[in-house]
Amino acid sequence: MEKFAWLIPALPLIGFLFSIFFGKKVSKTVVASVASIFVLIPFILTVAIFIPFISVAEAEAIRIPLLEWINIGKLTVNYSIQLDQLSLMMMLVITGVGFLIHVYSAGYMHDDDGFHRFFAYLNLFIFFMLVLVMGSNFLMLFIGWEGVGLCSYLLIGFWYKNMDYNKAANKAFIMNRIGDLGLLLGIFLIYLRFSSFEYSRIAYEAIDIAIGDPIITTITILLFIGAIGKSAQLPLFTWLPDAMAGPTPVSALIHAATMVTAGVYLIIRTNILFTLAPFTQEIIMFVGLATALFAATIGLKQNDIKKVLAYSTVSQLGYMFFALGLGAYTAAYFHLFTHAFFKALLFLGSGSVIHAMSGEQDLRKMGGLKKALPITHATFLIGTIAIAGLPPLAGFFSKDQILASAFAHHPVLWIMGVLGALMTAFYMFRLYYLAFHGSFRGTHEQEHHLHESPKTMTFPLVILAVMSVIAGFVNVPEVLGGGHWLDNFFTPLLAGTTLILEENVHAHLSHTVEYILMGSSVLAVLAVIFYARIRYKNNGHVPAEDSEPMSFLERLLSKKYYVDELYDSIVSNPVVKGAGLLYNYIEVNFIDRIVNGVGQLVVLSSRTARFMQTGNVGFYIFAMVIGALVILAANTFLH
Amino acid sequence: MENITQFTGALTINHYLFLSSVLFSIGVMGVLLRRNFIIIFMCVELMLNAVNILLAAFSRYNGNQSGQVFVFFIMVVAAAEVAVGLAILVMIFRNIRTTDINALKNLKW
Amino acid sequence: MNGSTSEYLPMLIQSVFALGFVAMVLIITHLIGPSRKSAKKLENFECGVEAKGNARLPFSVKYFLTAILFVLFDVEVIFFYPWATNFKEFGMDGLLSMALFVALFLLGFLYLRKKQAFKWE
Amino acid sequence: MTTLIFLSLLGFLVLFIGAFDYKKLILPTVIIGLIVAFFLNAMDWELTATSFYGMIDYNHYAVSFTGLMIVSVLLLMLVASYHFRNEGSHIADIYALMIFTLIGGLLMTSFSNLVMLFIGIEILSIALYILAGSRRLNIASNEASLKYFLMGAFASGFLLFGITLIFGVTNSFNLAEISDFVADTEELPTLFSTGVMLILIGFAFKIGAVPFHFWTPDVYQGAPTFITAFMATVVKTAGIAAFYRLFDSCFSGIDGTWFKILWIICVATILLGNITAVMQNESKRMLAWSSVSHAGYLLIPILALNELSSSAIFYYSAAYSIASITAFAVLIGLSKFQNDLPLDQYKGLAKNNPIMTTALVVSMFSLAGIPPLAGFFGKYFVFLTAMQSGLIYVVVIAIIGSLIGIYYYFKPLIYAFNNEGGSLEKIETNFAFNFVLMAGIVLSLLLGIFPDILRNLPG
């Protein structure tokens, strides 16, 4: 089966070419089916490779060289595929979720002029993403990395007629390039240190390196900078919420399930280097935790349904990095895996809602959609429970594993992690109740128009909902009677790390402690959900319009819900205010300013430099002579 | 005649170097300070001829004839350059009726 | 001052005299000559045919073209010089090379003729 | 070596065909002639001896670069058939001058004697002065010609003075002898390093490196678009090839002053080129600044000067030439002979002109250095070369420069895909023109996917 592995990335590429060249000439149905099938076949192929692979314990990675690519004396780089535990798991997610999103898009984008263009880009994206995860060396990773960035740029700016969307696209692109600078330098340094780009070679040689080696630390920091850009971590995360300008399936596929997790993939792929650099790991841990909490607080206050999900994505990515920083690579991947399902589900669900609402994204204009959209409602609820981390849905297991690792590291980290989880549960249920319960708050026309989405859209929702329920069972912890399947499966991948640390990477807590941790976090989450329910369902609380800030405080007071009042004034309000503060001051004023400032600096210097070009030959010659004199003087005096 | 050779023999290569550097610099200054195309052009020629003197001197000093042959090449190239330069001048003069190099500055920024 | 350079003393003296004379005449005429300033004085030609119009008249490109062509062909003659001084050593090869060189010139000449560069009208 | 003679004869032939007014014959002669020249050139691959009494050393390096230049000229000639479709009889002269320029370029890549270097540069430059001003009645073209000529002649003076000083010190024009002299001499006189500096200045001018770049934007903008394409590709390639050949064979052993100066020149060129291009609104001017920045990237391997340098320069030149030719071809297709080409000229191109749009996208991406196109690997190999010699700061700055570059390379694309206010009509093209566009697209992709095709050529 492996000999057909090259087909996996090749087919989406063919699909891309087909849509680009013939997309206009054939009907939309044909475009959508071709594009979807060219993702479905790779999925089937991946499964066909995957099944024999899991049946062997600690299977060796399969490397399939395709073409010789670069050959300079001692350096040979091939186009070659590496099939191992990590790449196969990634491929399953990419092709599986990718296929569902293709199907979904067929319904969602049905009335769009750029239908064939959209599918072309989607296919191209799948191609590059597969290249990214399937390559056996850093160069292929880099090509995929740049390629997905490009597709993301194209898809964010898909509705290019809107200038704001173009700006969002540019912002994403530029921020990603900052990260890419780090990645590229990291790759160059790797080459200098190891004289190779092959993962296997690097892993082989890295085992002998002492922990804390300065070059390795530098490399890992540079790689991490690359990951920060791609995976939207502090301080380069602001592009991701803006990236929601793209069509919703894009948000689901690229900005939730796959591309943004490339940073996580990169670090797991090079886990041995990161294990050798404890300093970098500390940084990653703090950056991840900070991002998780920071984004979660901002999420509390957002009223745009996609913005909430976007900040939630940033926050969940923060969790993954938190886990990576703790050295819990499997936990990070596990969360990536489950998150891909439930976040894609939530995005697609929100797309279904937006579709039904004729493009309305403001939560304050929704409400009571439960009746009109039964399937969307049910699946969305599953997604919400999954992300909130209630057992036995997927999010519970993965989040629990991260939290357990955190506790093993330091209890304070656990508390912070739980805090983030609580906020997640709150804003997600807030979103859920605001959208699906209460009375409808939109216009009459919208209400009249409300309808359940077509089958092409609900089918992926159902599949993803099922996955969100069961995905967690790939790694049920021992304490709950599971067998840590994923941990065992990943053992060969983390062999180097294990060897270096000479102990098992995942946490060892006593069963009692684990029960207590699990129980307390679940209870806390339940409490928060209950609070959200009272606040947004029973009391029908609706966030204030932007035009009347803080007036809701007075309204609340008049309603005399003492608990609410108490909570609002002591806990909720400061948090909400703080969230607003973070958003308005730190993000808008500070981070955005820095990014924009760099751009403005370039523009300004460009303007200035332009005027050196006076058009006057006399001046040019004068400048030349000065230049020549300076050079000659330097030559004489620099000796 | 003998004495003349002796006299020139007393000049070291540094004298020639100095002479041609000065001539070259005069040429550079001329290009820098003048605005008339033709005069600038003559200054460029002066630069080339300064080089020619130096080449001939080096050639003699090193006892290597190739320097002198190079002078011939430079002269021919300079003549070609003159032809092209003057053609450009005529072309421009016909269009804008001036030989001031700074008159043409539409291409800028 | 040794013997060899002393022989050049007369030359130096003569040069000084020559330069001195020129300078002197220029200065003296400036000092003692009557100086009248009038419009007539500023004209290009004080006598003869009255000058009219702008001196920067469009001149006939034909003069220019001919002159340039002359310079181009003339300069190439330089290359005959090293050949001529070593005529015997180069022998037949040299002669053939020169013939090729001249033939290329002839081609250039023919091109110019064909382009009617030599036609005056 | 036969290529040189053949091309000279071809030049004459074209002149005479023009003079005798056989208009229909001109283009076929040029095309066939260039193809023959390409094969003649390829046949010299095995040639190892020097020719013309040791004046020329036609090694692999020279053959590769000559091949690249011939292909570039060939593609440009095909574009020319579209560009000059309505033009009068002096096309033959333009073609002939381009062939003479090519001869100059050939000498510049294959010289083994400084005299040949100088003559090559002058043959190339003098023909270019005329080409830049080839639209006699257009003031912008006049201005370009004047500026290029004045500054070019001026810069030649410096180059020549440098060559003379080197001759004075080493008593030779021959590269091998100079190299031996450098190797044998303990302490080189200041005169020698001054000569090297003056030559450096001359070259910096030719390739348009800061602070001798001032002519580039003005001349590129003023010259006819087609000639601009020629200058941006063939001339730049020849300049950089000669630069590397000289510095690699003669001056690699001398002390570090020139290195420090070249370091500053290189970094300044990359930054200034990219930064200034950001605010340009005229297509040719933007491409001119971009070409300044590319000159900077091309200087990096000369700075690094290790065993990877020559292949990096060659690959980069090839990638850059192909992308530039494609970009300029699109521009020529868009411009209807007018000189001013604002960027919004691209507006609405995408809808009705798929080939041109694809070509534009590919060329801009390649120039910006986005994988997997040739331009990316060009940059990549250049950076790799630099890393090999430990020039980490240069690489960082160069990467920052290319990040800025992305901004302006995307501008035409944003315009092209913007249909507000109507889209462009379908632009009428001919077969040769489309062929060039397709060739540009295919080559950019092919070189990107299989970079090894060209990499190991110069050896």
Element housing A64 (H / E):
strand A62-72
Residue A565: its pLDDT value, please?
Answer: 46
Q: Is residue C37 part of a domain?
A: yes
Residue A555: its pLDDT value, please?
Answer: 45
Residue A634: its pLDDT value, please?
Answer: 85
How many structural domains compose chain C? 1
Residues D74 and D92 sit within 8 Å (Cβ to Cβ) = no
Q: Answer with the residue of higher pLDDT: A198 or A554.
A: A198
Rounded to the nearest angstrom, the minimum Cα separation between C4 and chain B is 6
Pairwise CA distance, residues D14 & D30, whole Å: 7
Q: Is residue A106 part of a domain?
A: no
Q: Among candidates A315, A300, A310, A314, which has minimal Cα distance to A574?
A: A300
Domain that holds residue D241: 2-455
CB pairs under 8 A between C and D: 10
How many structural domains compose chain D? 1
CA-based nearest residue in chain A for residue D419: A161
- The predicted-structure confidence for A517-553, as pLDDT tens digits, reads as follows 888 888 888 888 888 887 777 777 776 654 444 444 4
Q: Is residue C89 part of a domain?
A: yes
Check whether B93 has a pLDDT greater than 70. Answer: yes
Phi-psi region of A137 (alpha: psi -120 to 50; beta: other; left: phi over 0): beta
Pairwise CA distance, residues D235 & D106, whole Å: 10
Rounded to the nearest angstrom, the minimum Cα separation between B59 and chain A is 24
Strands (E) in A161-253, as ranges, are none
Chains C and A touch (3+ CB pairs under 8 A): no
Q: Among candidates D144, D153, D162, which has minimal Cα distance to D216?
A: D144
Q: Is residue A68 part of a domain?
A: no
- The predicted-structure confidence for A103-121, as pLDDT tens digits, reads as follows 888 888 887 777 888 888 8
What residues in B contact A618, CB-CB < 8 Å?
A: 32, 35, 101-102
Q: Is residue A161 part of a domain?
A: no
Chain C contacts in chain B segment 17-46 (CB below 8 A): none
Domain that holds residue A496: 340-543
Average pLDDT over residues C108-119: 84
Domain that holds residue C13: 3-114
What residues in A contact B103, CB-CB < 8 Å?
A: none
Nearest to D399 among A174, A184, A632 (CB): A184
Pairwise CA distance, residues A418 & D240, whole Å: 61
What residues in C contact D55, CB-CB < 8 Å?
A: none
Q: Answer with the residue of higher pLDDT: C5 or D218.
A: D218
* Structure letter (DSSP) for residue A72: E
Type of residue at D390: G
CB contact under 8 A, B83 and C81: no
Pairwise CA distance, residues A251 & A245, whole Å: 9
Chains interfacing with D (3 or more CB pairs < 8 Å)? A, B, C
Q: Is residue A557 part of a domain?
A: no
Return the domain boundaries, chain B: 36-98
Report angle CA A205, A210, A216 to the nearest 5 degrees.
70
SS (H, E, C) chain D: CHHHHHHHHHHHHHHHHHHCCCHHHHHHHHHHHHHHHHHHHHHHHHCCCEECCCCEECCHHHHHHHHHHHHHHHHHHHHHHHHCCCCCCCHHHHHHHHHHHHHHHHHHHHECEHHHHHHHHHHHHHHHHHHHCCCCCCHHHHHHHHHHHHHHHHHHHHHHHHHHHHHHHHCCCEHHHHHHHHHHCCCCCHHHHHHHHHHHHHHHHHHCCCCCCCHHHHHHHHCCHHHHHHHHHHHHHHHHHHHHHHHHHHHCCCCCHHHHHHHHHHHHHHHHHHHHHHCCCEHHHHHHHHHHHHHHHHHHHHHHCCCCHHHHHHHHHHHHHHHHHHHHHHHHHHCCCCCCCEHHHHCCHHHHCHHHHHHHHHHHHHHHCCCCCHHHHHHHHHHHHHHHCCCHHHHHHHHHHHHHHHHHHHHHHHHHCCCCCCCCCCCCCCHHHHHHHHHHHHHHHHHHHCCHHHHCCCC
Number of alpha carbons in the 13 Å side-chain half-sphere of residue A402: 33
Pairwise CA distance, residues D380 & A476, whole Å: 45
Residue A575: its pLDDT value, please?
Answer: 57
D115: its two tokens: 């005299």
> Most confidently modeled of A3-17, A123-137, A287-301?
A123-137
How many structural domains compose chain A? 1
* Structure letter (DSSP) for residue A78: E
DSSP states of A439-485 as a string? Answer: ---S-HHHHHH--PPPHHHHHHHHHHHHHHHHGGGGG--GGGT---H
Rounded to the nearest angstrom, the minimum Cα separation between B26 and chain C is 23
Helix (H, G, I), strand (E, B) or coil at A63: strand
CB contact under 8 A, C68 and B82: yes
Residue A594: its pLDDT value, please?
Answer: 67
- The predicted-structure confidence for A45-56, as pLDDT tens digits, reads as follows 888 888 888 887
CA-based nearest residue in chain A for residue B31: A621
Is the four-CA dihedral A103, A105, A109, A114 of positive or negative sign?
negative
Residues A186 and A223 sit within 8 Å (Cβ to Cβ) = yes
Residue A551 class from Cβ within 10 Å (0-12 exposed, 13-18 middle, 19+ buried)?
A: exposed
Report angle CA A383, A388, A389 to the nearest 5 degrees.
100
CA-based nearest residue in chain D for residue B43: D154
Q: Is residue A488 part of a domain?
A: yes
CB contact under 8 A, D260 and A185: no
CB contact under 8 A, D20 and C111: no
Full pLDDT tens readout for chain D, 459 residues: 789 999 999 999 998 888 888 888 888 899 999 999 999 988 888 776 677 788 888 888 999 999 999 999 999 998 888 877 766 657 888 999 999 999 999 999 999 999 999 999 999 999 999 999 888 888 889 999 999 999 999 999 999 999 999 999 999 999 999 999 988 888 888 888 889 999 999 999 999 998 899 999 999 999 988 899 999 999 999 999 999 999 988 887 777 788 889 999 999 999 999 999 988 888 899 999 999 999 999 999 999 888 889 999 999 999 999 999 999 999 988 876 566 778 888 888 877 888 888 899 899 989 988 877 898 889 888 988 888 888 888 888 898 888 888 888 888 887 887 777 677 778 888 888 889 999 999 999 888 888 877 777 776
- What is the interface pTM, i.e. ipTM, of the complex? 0.86
Q: Among candidates D363, D404, D124, D118, which has minimal Cα distance to D237?
A: D124
Paired sense of beta strands D56-57 and A75-83, if any: unpaired
CB contact under 8 A, D217 and A613: yes
Residue D265: its pLDDT value, please?
Answer: 94
Check whether A244 has a pLDDT greater than 60. Answer: yes
Q: Is the pTM of this model over 0.80?
A: no
* Structure letter (DSSP) for residue B34: -
Nearest to B109 among A611, A621, A622 (CB): A611
Check whether A639 has a pLDDT greater than 70. Answer: no
Q: Does A147 touch chain D (CB under 8 A)?
A: yes
Query: What's the pLDDT band for C71 if we cut at 50, 70, 90?
Result: confident
Chain B contacts in chain D segment 140-179 (CB below 8 A): 140, 142-147, 149-150, 153-154, 156-157, 160-161, 164-165, 167-168, 171-173
B60: its two tokens: 């003699």
Residues D96 and D11 sit within 8 Å (Cβ to Cβ) = yes
Average pLDDT over residues C7-17: 76
Alpha-carbon separation of residue A141 from A79, A263, B8, C77 (angstroms): 11, 11, 72, 65
Chain A contacts in chain D segment 130-159 (CB below 8 A): 146-147, 150-151, 154-155, 158
| Residue ranges in B1-109 assigned as alpha helix (H) | 2-10, 13-33, 37-62, 66-96
Query: What's the pLDDT band for C45 if we cut at 50, 70, 90?
Result: low
Q: Does B11 touch chain C (CB under 8 A)?
A: no
Residue D155: its pLDDT value, please?
Answer: 93
Rounded to the nearest angstrom, the minimum Cα separation between D130 and chain B is 7
CATH label of the domain that carries residue C25: 1.20.58.1610
Nearest to D190 among A606, A634, A636 (CB): A636
CB contact under 8 A, C68 and B90: no
Rounded to the nearest angstrom, the minimum Cα separation between B103 and chain A is 8
Alpha-carbon separation of residue A124 from A127, A149, A254, D199 (angstroms): 5, 11, 12, 49
Query: What's the pLDDT band for A505 if we cut at 50, 70, 90?
Result: very low
Q: Is residue C33 part of a domain?
A: yes
Chains interfacing with B (3 or more CB pairs < 8 Å)? A, C, D
The least confident of A292-301, A386-395, A565-574 is: A565-574
Q: Does D384 touch chain A (CB under 8 A)?
A: yes
Pairwise CA distance, residues D235 & D255, whole Å: 29
CB contact under 8 A, B72 and C79: yes
B86: its two tokens: 């003057």
Query: What's the pLDDT band for B6 if we cut at 50, 70, 90?
Result: low
Rounded to the nearest angstrom, the minimum Cα separation between D202 and chain B is 14
Place of tokens 């501008």: D411
Check whether A590 has a pLDDT greater than 50. Answer: yes
Q: Is residue C120 part of a domain?
A: no
The least confident of A227-236, A345-354, B7-16, D76-85 is: B7-16
Residue A567: its pLDDT value, please?
Answer: 43
Check whether A480 has a pLDDT greater than 80. Answer: no
Pairwise CA distance, residues C82 & D238, whole Å: 31
- The predicted-structure confidence for A336-384, as pLDDT tens digits, reads as follows 889 888 888 888 888 888 888 877 788 777 777 778 888 888 888 888 8
Interface test with B, best of C60, C66, C75, C101 (most B CBs within 10 A): C75
